Structure 1
Amino acid sequence: MAIKHPFLHAAACSVAVLAALPMPAFGQQTPSPQDAAARYQALAAEERTKAGDPAFDYALGTAASDAGRYGEAIVAFQRVLARQPANAPARAELARAYALAGDIDTARAQFSTVVDDPTIPDPVRQRFTGFVRQFDKQIKGGGSDLSGFGEAAFGHDSNINSATQLTSITIPLFAALGPGSLGAGARAQKDEFYDLSAGISAVSATSRQDRVFGSLLGNWRDNLDSAAFDQSSLTGTAGFAHTFANRDVVSLSGQVQKYWVGHRGFRTAFGGIAQYTHLLPGGKALSASVQFNRFDYDRDALRDADRFAVGIGYSARNYAVNLIGGHEETRRQAGDAESNTFAGANMGAEFQVAPKVALVAGAAFDLRRYDRADLLFMRKRHDERLDLTAAVKVAVLPRLFIQPKATWSRNWSNIALYDHERWTVQAGARFEF
Structure 2
Amino acid sequence: MAVLGAGATAAHAATPAPPATTSPQLEALLAQEAQQAGNPDFDYALGVAALDAGHLSRAIFALERVVAVQPGNGPARAELARAYLAAGDVARGREELMLVRRSELPPEAAQAIDRVLGALDASHSADRQRRINGYVEASLARDSNVNSATNAGQFALPAFGGLLFTMAPEARQRSDTVLGAAAGASAQVPLSADWDLVAGANLRATSPRQVHEMQTTVADFSLGATHLGEDRSQTLAWQSTGAWLDGGRYRTAHGVAAQWQQQLDRSTQGNVFAQLSRQSYAGQAERNTDRGVLGLALARSFGEGQRLAYGSVYRVRERPRDGANGGLNDHHGHQGYGARLGAEQALGPATLFVEWQVERRHYGGTEPLFDVRRHDHQSDWLAGLRWSIGRQWQLLPQLRRTIARSNVVLYDYQRTVVQVAVRREF
Counterpart residue number, 1:156:
142
Counterpart residue number, 2:397:
404
Match of 1:231 among 199, 202, 216: 216
CA distance in 2, matches of 1:200, 1:71: 46
Q: How does 1:29-428 map to 2 (within 5 A)?
A: 45-46=30-31, 61=52, 64-65=55-56, 67=57, 70=60, 97=86, 99-102=88-91, 136-139=122-125, 142-175=128-161, 178-244=163-229, 246-317=230-301, 318-332=308-322, 333-352=327-346, 354-428=347-421
Q: Which runs of 5+ in 1 are unaligned?
A: 1-10, 20-24, 29-35, 76-92, 107-131
| Structure 2 CA distance for partners of 1:423 and 1:61, relative to 1, 3 Å | farther
Counterpart residue number, 2:104:
none
Q: Which runs of 5+ in 2 are unaligned?
A: 1-9, 37-41, 66-81, 96-117, 302-307
Counterpart residue number, 1:78:
none
**TM superposition shift of 1:194:** 1.6
- Which secondary structure does the structure 2 equivalent of 1:334 belong to? coil
**TM superposition shift of 1:218:** 1.1
**TM superposition shift of 1:270:** 0.3
- Which secondary structure does the structure 2 equivalent of 1:173 belong to? helix
**TM superposition shift of 1:230:** 1.3
| Structure 2 CA distance for partners of 1:139 and 1:375, relative to 1, 3 Å | closer
**TM superposition shift of 1:100:** 3.2
- Which secondary structure does the structure 1 equivalent of 2:345 belong to? strand
**Percent identity over the alignment?**
21
CA distance in 1, matches of 2:272, 2:83: 39
TM-score by length of 1: 0.73
- Which secondary structure does the structure 2 equivalent of 1:99 belong to? coil
- Which secondary structure does the structure 2 equivalent of 1:136 belong to? helix
**TM superposition shift of 1:231:** 1.3
CA distance in 1, matches of 2:16, 2:51: 19
**TM superposition shift of 1:334:** 3.0
CA distance in 1, matches of 2:300, 2:164: 52
**TM superposition shift of 1:243:** 2.4
Counterpart residue number, 2:304:
none
TM-score by length of 2: 0.74
Whichever residue aligns with residue 309 of structure 2, its letter is: Y
CA distance in 1, matches of 2:419, 2:376: 27
**TM superposition shift of 1:199:** 1.4
CA distance in 2, matches of 1:385, 1:398: 38
